């Protein structure tokens, strides 16, 4: 592993602990501190990035227990604003190193770039530490059944439809550094996205619409649609496929908690990466 990747030796296990063992919070926070300190030392962060941590700290205080409603609303507004900047890699001070830079994994596929991001994972970390919807857990058996069941259906539906529409082609492969893609996708991409769209948004809507007719279905549908809209840069077909996948992840979350949604999401991505054109065929 190159020197610039050293911080993830601490960050990867820290995020995994927060996802699977939230009661190990102190250990996870220690590892995160070590990882981000290493990133600062090797030049992957500069002092401007600390401002995002300060704003997230202020949001944590504002959404604490027994805070007035206006303070909680302000805290959530702060978090959403910071999360938007982090997700779009627009917050200054983060210098994410590339793993793949405009690589074509198969003939006809569009070029793919991947970075080991230090900014976007902070969204999932904050939610795993602060937001109770992201901390909901089920038994391991229930989590596994939900992940395999709903994740499997989502994988067959989405990739089958993508294949029929010519968005992807059958292309089995395992590129160099594929293991790093898998760790990054599971612990940084899927955790960040599922904590935001399922653990935060879907859970909040379910509570807000609790007791209303079709409230649960509406919460699932809205979160899935917003997840799809986040993939709109890939085109209208990609939006539809991501929305369909979001329904499967939402069902997995409802039945098996956040780890089930993350595993369902990662399972679909892994099959896509290993067996089909990635990320998609060129037009």
**Domain extents in the chain:** 3-45+94-275
Residue 209 reports pLDDT greater than 90: yes
Residue 2 reports pLDDT greater than 70: no
Reported pTM = 0.95
- Find where tokens 């069902």 sit: 251
Q: 48: buried, middle or exposed (CB in 10 Å: 19+, 13-18, 0-12)?
A: exposed
Q: Could you tell me the pLDDT band of residue 107, with boundaries at 50, 70 and 90?
A: confident
Residue 3 reports pLDDT greater than 60: no
| Per-residue pLDDT tens over the stretch 50-98 | 999 999 999 999 998 888 989 999 999 999 999 999 999 999 999 999 9
What pLDDT shows up at residue 134? 80
Residue 1 reports pLDDT greater than 80: no
What pLDDT shows up at residue 239? 97
Residue-averaged pLDDT of the chain: 93
Q: What three-state secondary structure class fits 99?
A: strand
Average pLDDT over residues 137-141: 87
Are 113 and 98 a contacting pair, CB within 8 Å? yes
The alpha-carbon radius of gyration of the chain (Å, integer) is 19
Choose between 208 and 2: higher pLDDT: 208
């Amino acid at each position: 592993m190159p020197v610039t990747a050293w911080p993830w030796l601490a960050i990867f296990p820290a995020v995994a602990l927060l996802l699977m063992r939230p009661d190990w919070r102190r250990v996870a926070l220690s590892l995160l501190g070590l990882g981000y300190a290493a990133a600062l030392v090797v030049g992957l962060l500069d002092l401007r990035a600390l401002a995002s941590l300060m704003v997230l700290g202020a949001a944590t205080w504002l959404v604490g227990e027994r805070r007035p409603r206006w303070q909680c609303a302000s805290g959530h507004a702060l978090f959403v604003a910071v999360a938007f900047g982090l997700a779009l890699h627009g917050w200054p001070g983060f210098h994410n190193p590339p793993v793949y830079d405009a690589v074509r994994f198969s003939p006809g596929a569009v070029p793919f770039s991947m970075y080991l991001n230090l900014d976007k994972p902070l969204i999932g970390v904050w939610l795993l530490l602060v937001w109770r919807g992201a901390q909901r857990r089920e038994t391991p058996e229930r989590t596994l059944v939900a992940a395999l069941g709903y994740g499997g259906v989502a994988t067959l539906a989405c990739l089958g439809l993508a294949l029929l529409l010519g968005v992807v082609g059958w292309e089995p492969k395992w590129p160099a550094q594929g293991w790093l893609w898998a760790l990054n996708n599971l612990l940084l991409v899927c955790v960040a996205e599922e904590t935001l769209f399922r653990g935060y948004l879907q859970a909040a809507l379910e509570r807000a619409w609790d007791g209303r007719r079709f409230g649960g279905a509406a919460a699932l549908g809205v979160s899935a649609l917003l997840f799809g809209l986040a993939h709109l840069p890939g085109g209208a077909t990609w939006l539809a496929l991501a929305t369909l996948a979001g329904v499967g992840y939402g069902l997995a979350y409802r039945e098996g908690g956040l780890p089930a949604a993350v595993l369902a999401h990662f399972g679909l991505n892994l099959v896509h990466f290993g067996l089909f054109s990635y990320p998609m065929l060129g037009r």
